[in-house]
Amino acid sequence: MTETLGISVLDPAGISPARMRSVLGHFATGVVVITAKGLAGPVGFTCQTFASLSLDPPLVMFSPARTSRTWPRIREAGRFGVNILAEGHEHLSNQFARSGADKFAGVAWHPTSSGVPVLHDVCAWIECTVEAEYDGGDHTIVTGRVQAMGAETTPAPLLFHRGHYGIGT
């Protein structure tokens, strides 16, 4: 039996949520804010589980927690934006991660032609329509079909690694 970081690799019963978070925290992720034009105004949440999925057709994916109160409102809108945060956007990540507050309070943004909120000064933005949803344990795996996108060349992306923010180059 082999031991890796104190866990037997042959014993899946020893894999707790805390251990998963600790070990997988070694993988640096980008930080995005998923946004949509809600019925009562803009809505959004911070997400670290985002990736490009397919070039043809153009698809991306992200995974909101099943407990998210914002994801059902975005799903209802049918169209969403992915805002790739830049260095110095820790405050946006934290603001959109909170529950129950007006997440857009004091946040500069503009709508796309279809009304999806794009946050100012992000590295890049992607506008999508909801393509499909899949079971992902305590999360939902959402795929989106890319409809529009844009990018800046100057800001470095905001990264999250081992519980702390950093920047990529």
Confidence bin at 11 (pLDDT 50/70/90): low
Domain count, the chain: 1
The whole-angstrom separation of Cα 119 and Cα 107 is 7
* Type of residue numbered 7: I
Burial 127-141 (b: 16+ CB within 10 A, else e): bbebbeeeeeeebbb
Distances (CA, A) of 155 to 113, 161, 166: 24, 19, 13
- Whether the CB-CB separation of 27 and 18 falls below 8 Å is answered with no
**Predicted confidence (pLDDT) per residue in 96-145, tens digit:** 999 888 999 999 999 999 999 999 999 999 999 999 999 999 999 999 99
- Whether the CB-CB separation of 103 and 118 falls below 8 Å is answered with no
Q: What are phi and psi of 155, to 5 degrees?
A: -75, 145
Q: What are phi and psi of 19, to 5 degrees?
A: -70, -40
Q: What is the CATH number of the domain that holds 45?
A: 2.30.110.10
Q: Is 162 a domain residue?
A: no
Q: Is 51 a domain residue?
A: yes
Q: Is 167 a domain residue?
A: no
**Predicted confidence (pLDDT) per residue in 58-100, tens digit:** 999 999 999 999 999 999 999 999 999 999 999 999 999 998 8
Q: Is 21 a domain residue?
A: no
* Type of residue numbered 35: T
For residue 76, give its domain range.
29-153
Q: Is 11 a domain residue?
A: no
Q: Is 67 a domain residue?
A: yes
